[in-house]
Chains A and B, each alone.
Chain A
Amino acid sequence: MKYGRIPQLAMATGLGTLALLFGSLQCPAQYTPTSGPGSALSIPQAQLIQPEALNHLLQTKGTEKPLLLQIGSHLLFDEAHIPGSVYAGAGSQPAGLQQLQSTVATLSKKKAIVLYCGCCPWNRCPNLGPAFKQLQDMGFTNVKALYLADNLGTDWVAKGYPVERTH
């Protein structure tokens, strides 16, 4: 009789774990793309990935993880970044785009890459548009951009998703 509680406990624990993983899910932020060469708004909506979807992908065992590239401020990267991500230069600067080019130079063009910045509101980000275009021009076919509506603090850290720090 007492062992009959094991499935109940396992189910409760499983539900608890699911709640832990998905508890912070919220409706995707509204996004109405407009034209704007070089701006984040120029990235097609189909190429965006929402924070909760990326977090789920990163937390799911057994799935191939994308290469995460932060292409904004190095100082903000040092303060907090998504675990496993690499700083690849500010997309708004020529030197940053060169660094991005070097970072991905030896990768397969089919490599799954997620770019993110989170320096400022999405429609104001100067880095994502140029970085995304750079990878497209280099022939990368599996690139997505993490949609952070306001910034990394509000749309990733405050939602409880994992972060790590350089210092």
Chain B
Amino acid sequence: MPPFALCRFALTVVFLAACSIASEAQSAFAARTLVHKNAPEFVRTGLDHKRLDLNAYRGKVVLLNFWATWCAPCQVEMPTFVAWQNKYGQHGLQIVGISMDDDPALARAAYRKLKLNYPVAMGDVKLGDLYGGVLGLPMTFLIDRHGEIRAEFQGETDLNKIQSQLQSLLPSR
């Protein structure tokens, strides 16, 4: 092999290896957005010790909210979610909370203190992965009656925006 070809081959290998390492590190989070995809199914035991099966809410509009007690914006949102569950529950809204706290005791205390009127279960790495990697809170998904994710909200979000979208998914009254 001529020296030039050898040099070109070596440089190409180095370049491709660099690309490969970068892409491998990112592969777990490559397809991050889940909008317009079916909501990944999961079954957990809720903080109320009842079975929490996302599939059981098919036919309802589900607002799936990942939160934690250390997440200040989450604490701002959750009383509003309680109000929405009261207001829209009879029209087909079901809010589901997933706590990403390390300590379930903290989540249970918040569950009682905030008087949450919707099911909450503890999250884990597996559930975070299912939803594209929950790498910052709050994170909220709006799932339509057919189980398709219609919107995803990351970080502090204007609650009016979420409300407007969830209203559009509920049957007209």
Interface size on B, residues (CB 8 A): 40
| A20 and B136 within 8 A (CB) | no
> Nearest chain-B residue to A21 (Cβ)?
B18
Q: Which of A73-122 contact B (CB under 8 A)?
A: 73-76, 78-80, 83, 90, 92, 118-121
Within 8 A of A (CB), among B5-29: 7-8, 11, 14-15, 18-19, 21-22, 25-26, 28-29
How does the 8 Å CB contact mask read for B74-112 relative to A, with 1 for contact and 0 for none? 100000000000000000000000001110000000000
Closest to B3 in A: A3
Judging by beta carbons under 8 Å apart, are B124 and A75 in contact?
yes
A21 to chain B, nearest CB (A): 9
Scoring B residues 46 to 86 as 1 if CB is less than 8 Å from chain A, else 0, what string do you get?
Answer: 00000000000000000000001011111000000000000
State the Cβ distance, A88 to closest chain B Cβ, in Å: 13
Task: Give the interface size class of chain A.
Answer: 35 or more
Is there an interface contact between A120 and B136, defined as CB atoms closer than 8 Å? yes
Contact of B25 among A20, A126, A162 (CB under 8 A): A162
Determine whether the beta carbon of B22 is less than 8 Å from that of A162: yes
Residue of B nearest to A81 (CB): B135
Instruction: Identify the interface centre among A78, A90, A157, A164: most chain B CB within 10 Å of its CB.
Output: A157
Residue A13 lies at the interface, judged by CB distance under 8 Å to chain B: yes
What are the residues of chain B within 8 A of A166 when measuring CB–CB?
A: 125
Q: List A residues 34-50 near B (Cβ within 8 Å).
A: none
* CB closest residue in chain B, given A156: B135
Cβ of A120 and Cβ of B125 under 8 Å apart? no
**Interface residues of A, Cβ cutoff 8 Å to B:** 2-3, 5-6, 9-10, 13, 16-17, 20, 72-76, 78-80, 83, 90, 92, 118-121, 124, 126-127, 150-154, 157-158, 160, 162-167
| Given pairs A13-B14, A124-B72, A162-B21, 15 additional interface contacts (CB within 8 A) | A3-B3, A17-B18, A74-B102, A83-B25, A118-B135, A119-B70, A120-B73, A120-B138, A151-B135, A151-B136, A153-B133, A153-B134, A154-B155, A157-B26, A160-B26
